[in-house]
Structure 1
Amino acid sequence: MGIPAIVTAGDSRAAKAVYGKSKVYLEIDGLPLVAHVVRALQDCPEVDAVWVVGDTERLEQALGSQQLTSTLRKPLHIVPQQRDLISNAWETYRRVLSGDVTKGRDPNPDELDTEVFLLSGDVPLATPQEFSSFIKASQVANVDYTLGLCPAESLDIFRPEQTGGSGISVAYFNVRDGRFRQNNLHYARPARIGRLDRIEEMYELRHQRRFWNMFTLAIRILASRVGGFKIAMLFSMMHFAGVADRKGRKKLARFLARAVTLEINRATISKILDTRFTFIVTESGGCGLDIDTEEEYEVIRERFTQWLKDQKARSIELHGPLPQRLEDQRQ
């Protein structure tokens, strides 16, 4: 039995607008960003159905073009958006259980371990191999919630090749293990996560370039008494290490990051969310390059054809080719 994929394409609260509109509807190479994600999921062998949550009228239009529908081989369901990210994910999960896009239900006792693959709708450079690698690693980890990371090396290829050149430089979490960026991929047993509300809070404050976001998150966590002062210090050290890294102070960044490891983060997040949590590192990098600004959109639109070609080649090198039956259908 396959895994349902839930693509979040809502435009409420934590969602960022680009050019004054929900970014998942921005077009690249003739397709909205969310359509690129849906198309890539068609070739992920572990996924058996795609559920997209957002503005139903706009999604029906965005996902209704012949360019996309001619590639669909899996059931595609559109679910109306709720008030925020977590509500979107939870209500879509409930509809997965019921099999009805209009009405969901809570899990029965024998469904508490039902798993779903969740991802953002604004990662046009994602590849099926990257999805598949993450899902398989998450299943091996056998926890209740996994979050994907990609190492800095997998994203450095998108940086400008020279000063003033076209490219994108992104922010990283700096820890003793290295420099990482979350890659917008999640794998979960939603019914087993004790504090879903804290995922929403962390997501809303995810832009680590902004000190106020990190400071506010640290204060909220401190006030929650879940981890107290230690957790607040953890996020602060990662923030200052990230600032040093972006300013080119590599030695200082490494020094500050020595106090924090992926394992410390894993244990801390498990405690915050009241669940069994871990990170999954994938090397491809395409899912880590989402679009948050007009400048990023313009660069990806300009470089899309070459970057996607490079990502596909890199994915094959890292993870191997797609199953033959899917390759045949793509020809």
Structure 2
Amino acid sequence: MDCIILAGSGENYREVSEEDNKAFLKVGDQSILEWILLQLDRVPELDRLLLIGPKSRIETHLATDGIKTQKPLLVFEQKNDLVENILFVFRTTQKEEDPNRCVLILPSDTPLLLAEEVREFIQKSDMSRNDYHGGLTTEAALRRFYPTDSKPGVKMTYFYFAEGCFRINNMHLVRPSAFQKVHFIRRTYAMRYQKKWYNILRMMANVLRMAMLIPTGPYVYFGMQLGRLGFESGWPRFGRFFQKQFPMSRIEGLISKVLGVRMSMVVTTLGGSAIDVDNENDYRAICDRFGEWRKMQEDLVKQEAHT
């Protein structure tokens, strides 16, 4: 299996710390891109690392910093948007037509990603029954990264399913040839920062258009937003009223219809895959506590290995 690493900085990209590409931000003594590549190089299920972004800058960075991987590492020039980047790399690296070929897709702004979490995600996925697996992380796992009285931290926005509270993490296992509605993915990606009200309103308009195809879509979307509002505003009874109506299986079924694929969600336990450099404050918190958080995750891996 190949892994596509998205290191582009095109449409709908958010700059952090005056850097127009978060892959090159330093965390500790290395760039985020280097941290990610070194972890992916340790994942035996992966064959090649396919990196797409500003090709010349990436190649200069790899050479200047002496970044090398044991796995084949191919670099491609970025295109106009996320979907075009994925499809370009997928088609360019396909030796022959294979409708069942699957790829792991990751961004390049998750410095706390560990090889063990990637392996957990891959091993829990079943691509014989699905075309797309999206990663989730529990709130319980992400509490480890919260601010304390004396230290900064990262606090996320969650989705409240009947099974519990989850954050969508950054791991995606995909069979690209199965996707029929890439236009919806483009629009959704452009509105992914749901803390911003104008993006929420744009997403609402998108959902209303979707209602023409799937009548239950708007209710699910607005119901989950109201559930989240209840919990985040201190009205847990109001939040639970909506939360219990949306088991994961219902959401998986809706997403499958919207995208025209068989979709299932996979829960991983370490948490680093969900901690991305979303804004300046998160970046500063990650830099300040990187060593502590990295060791914490490595200790968790050791504990799980002995259980």
Common topology (TM > 0.5): yes
Contact 1:14 1:85 in 2 (8 A): no
**Deviation per residue, 1:260-308 (Å, 9 max, x gap):** 2211110010000011111111111110000111110011001001101
- The 5-angstrom pairing of residues 220-239 of structure 1 reads 220-224=206-210, 225-228=212-215, 230-239=216-225
Please say if 1:29 is aligned against 2:28: yes
Between the aligned partners of 2:138 and 2:128, the Cα distance in structure 1 is: 19
Alignment length, in residue pairs?
Answer: 304
Unpaired segments ≥5 residues, structure 2: none
Aligned to 2:63: 64
2:147 counterpart of 1:149: no
Distance in 1 (CA, whole Å) between partners of 2:224 and 2:301 is 29
Contact persistence 2:3–2:50 (CA under 8 A):
yes
2:85 equivalent in structure 1:
88
Matched, 1:317 2:303: yes
2:207/2:221 contact within 8 Å kept? no
**3-state SS of 1:166 partner:** coil
Distance 1:261 1:139 in 2: 20
Aligned residue for 1:142, secondary structure, equals: coil
For residues 126 and 56 of structure 2, the distance between their equivalents in structure 1, rounded to whole angstroms, comes to 34
Shift of the 140–116 alpha-carbon distance from structure 1 to 2, 3 Å rule, reads closer
1:42 is matched with 41
The one-letter code of the counterpart of 1:195 is K
Compared CA separation, residues 65 and 183, structure 1 to 2 (3 A): farther
CA contact (8 A) 1:149 1:180 kept: yes
Is it true that 1:219 corresponds to 2:205 in the alignment?
Answer: yes
Distance 1:168 1:67 in 2: 31
Report the TM-score, using the length of structure 1 for normalisation.
0.87
Superposition deviation, residue 309 in structure 1: 1.0
Identify if the C-alpha distance between structure 1 residues 126 and 83 changes in structure 2 by more than 3 Å, giving closer, same or farther: same
The corresponding residue for 1:305 is 291
Give the equivalent residue in structure 2 for 1:258: 244
What is the aligned counterpart of 2:160 among 170, 174, 183? 174
Q: Distance in 1 between matches of 2:302 and 2:191?
A: 34
For 1:141 and 1:14, locate their aligned partners in 2 and report how far apart those are by CA, in whole Å. 33
> What one-letter code is carried by the residue in structure 1 that aligns with 2:138?
P
Q: Deviations over 1:60-111 (max 9, x none)?
A: 1333344532xx211111111010001111111112214xxxxxxxx62xx0
Matches within 5 A, 1:158-307: 158-162=145-149, 165-224=151-210, 225-228=212-215, 230-307=216-293
How far apart are residue 26 of structure 1 and its match? 0.8
What RMSD over aligned residues (CA atoms) do the two structures have, in Å? 1.8
Equivalence for 2:109: 122
CA shift at 1:140, angstroms?
5.9
> Which residue matches 1:18?
16
**Contact 2:138-2:269 at 8 Å conserved across structures:** yes
Query: Does 2:26 match 1:8?
Result: no
Offset of 1:259 from its aligned partner? 2.2
Flag structure 1 segments of 5+ consecutive residues without an equivalent. 99-106, 322-331
- TM normalised by structure 2 equals 0.93
User: 1:255 is aligned with what amino acid?
Assistant: F
Read off the aligned partner of 2:109 and give its amino acid letter. D
User: Do the aligned residues in 2 keep the contact of 1:147 with 1:187 (CA within 8 Å)?
Assistant: yes
> Which secondary structure does the structure 1 equivalent of 2:152 belong to?
coil
Q: Aligned-pair distance for 1:256? A: 2.5
Q: 1:297 and 1:235, CA in 2 relative to 1: closer, same or farther beyond 3 A?
A: same
Identity of aligned residues (%): 26
Q: Look up the SS of the partner of 1:281 in the other structure.
A: strand
Classify the secondary structure of the residue corresponding to 2:109. Answer: coil
Q: What's the CA shift for 1:31?
A: 1.6
214-223 vs 55-64, which deviates more? 214-223
| In structure 1, distance between residues paired with 2:114 and 2:209 | 40
Cα 1:272–1:140 shift into 2, 3 Å: closer
Range with greater deviation from structure 2 (244-253 or 152-161) = 244-253
- The amino acid across from 2:36 in the alignment is V
Shift of 1:207: 2.1
More displaced 10-residue stretch of structure 1: 309-318 or 83-92: 309-318
Distance in 2 of aligned mates of 1:214 and 1:227: 19
Q: CA deviation at 1:141?
A: 6.1
In structure 2, do the counterparts of structure 1 residues 45 and 294 end up closer, same or farther at CA, with 3 Å as the change threshold?
same
- Amino acid in structure 2 at the alignment position of 1:153: A
What secondary structure sits across from 1:87 in the alignment? helix
Shift in Å, 1:215: 3.2
Pair 1:79 & 2:76 matched: yes
Distance 1:120 1:234 in 2: 27
